[in-house]
Structure formats: C-alpha cells, structure tokens
Amino acid sequence: GEDVEQSLFLSVREGDSSVINCTYTDSSSTYLYWYKQEPGAGLQLLTYIFSNMDMKQDQRLTVLLNKKDKHLSLRIADTQTGDSAIYFCALGAAGNKLTFGGGTRVLVKP
Amino acid sequence: DGGITQSPKYLFRKEGQNVTLSCEQNLNHDAMYWYRQDPGQGLRLIYYSQIVNDFQKGDIAEGYSVSREKKESFPLTVTSAQKNPTAFYLCASSIVSNEQYFGPGTRLTVT
C-alpha cells in the first residue's frame, strides 16, 4: 500500500518561512492534501494540489509537488505563533480514501 | 452552520463495556469515515461508508462496528473486543474525490 513519510518536528522563528516536507511511494494519487491539527481538535483542510500541477499558492501557503521525486512540500510564509500545530499530508487513494503521513509538529518561537 | 459534530468530546468507560461514539453531518455528504489517532501518530482508518446502508472495513476494523442507516449519521461502536480502545477518534465526511472534512473528535479513555 501507499507509504507516506513526514519528519516529526520543525522549529521556526516567528516571521520566518516554514517548509514542511512529505515523501510518498505510490504516484497514482490524483489529489494531495495538507491538513492542520491544533491541540485536542479535529483536522482542518488547509489546501490541496492536483497531481498534474507543480505548484499552488494560496495566500501565505505554497504547495510544491515534485512528481519525479515523489515529494510534496508546504511552505508557510511569515510564520505566526498561531501556525503552531501538527501538519499532515494526505494522498487520495481508491475508493475516496486518504492515506495520511504521520504528521509534523511545528513549533513557532517568538 | 454546516458541519460535522461529534459527541461527546470526552468519554470515559470501564474495560469490558461497549461504547458508541456519535457522528452527525449536515453537509449532505455521501461518504463518511472513522479514524483513530494515537498520541504522536497519524490517522488510521477504521471504517468508511460511501452510501447509506453500506460500509467497508478500513485498516484497523477489528473490535469496532458501525452502521449507516441515515445519510447524516455514522455512529461507531467500540466493543469490548477492541484490545486497546483508549484513543482520539475522528469522524470525517466527503462529497467528491477525496477532500474530507473532519469533526472535532472524541477522546475515549477506557480504564
């Protein structure tokens, strides 16, 4: 089955850019997603990219997709303390299912 | 307001008891999902349903059961057969492709 990997932790200074990375094994997904989870809460859909795109920008968020290397990234510009959370990448699979990475915990330091 | 509700937010049970977690959505979504999240880990799919009166097992269905009698509702029962039921349970729904929307979650503690 699909294997989706993320680094566990990222620390960044307020105002800097954050880059969260995700690698995967199966290239058949049509949609690739980024979700945000704040402590004790559900997951919030941040953005997504179609597999036929290389980049998508949405305000402070930029998603980059390198299909050759099977690498997905989320860049958050001008990171704020409210961006501290766990970020999950997720790949669309058959039957409307999603395969999630293990999540990257982002800590924004003032 | 449209959305997904899960109740209760916190649930405590004694070992050996079955417990049912509620998930309701008013988004008119056809598909609904249940996930389990353990501390420091990602989400694992328990069960999903793409249409009323039909559901499929996910990756970790053992010890769980579901029903889908109404489009809006997808309750999850954690049975006494589930060996390690303490976890954070998340319900989600979707209409097209894979874009899923999540409820706020229920934290179940079994002692």
Closest to A4 measured CA to CA, from A101, A79, A87, A69: A101
Alpha helix locations (H) across B2-77?
none
Task: Report residue B111 as tokens.
Answer: 């002692």
Interval B47-81: pLDDT, tens: 999 999 999 999 999 999 999 999 999 999 999 99
Residue of chain A nearest B41, judged by CA positions:
A102
Interval A12-64: pLDDT, tens: 999 999 999 999 998 788 889 999 999 989 999 999 999 899 999 999 999 99
Mean pLDDT value across chain B = 93
In this prediction, residue B42 has a pLDDT band, given cuts at 50, 70 and 90, of confident
Interval A57-109: pLDDT, tens: 999 999 999 999 999 999 999 999 999 999 999 998 767 789 999 999 999 99
User: Are B99 and A97 a contacting pair at CB < 8 A?
Assistant: no
Measured in angstroms, the CA of A24 and the nearest CA of chain B are apart by 14
Residue A32 identity: L
Name chain A contacts of B6, Cβ cutoff 8 Å: 42
Type and span of the H or E element at A108:
strand A104-109
Does position A3 have pLDDT exceeding 90, yes or no? no
Name chain A contacts of B90, Cβ cutoff 8 Å: 42-43
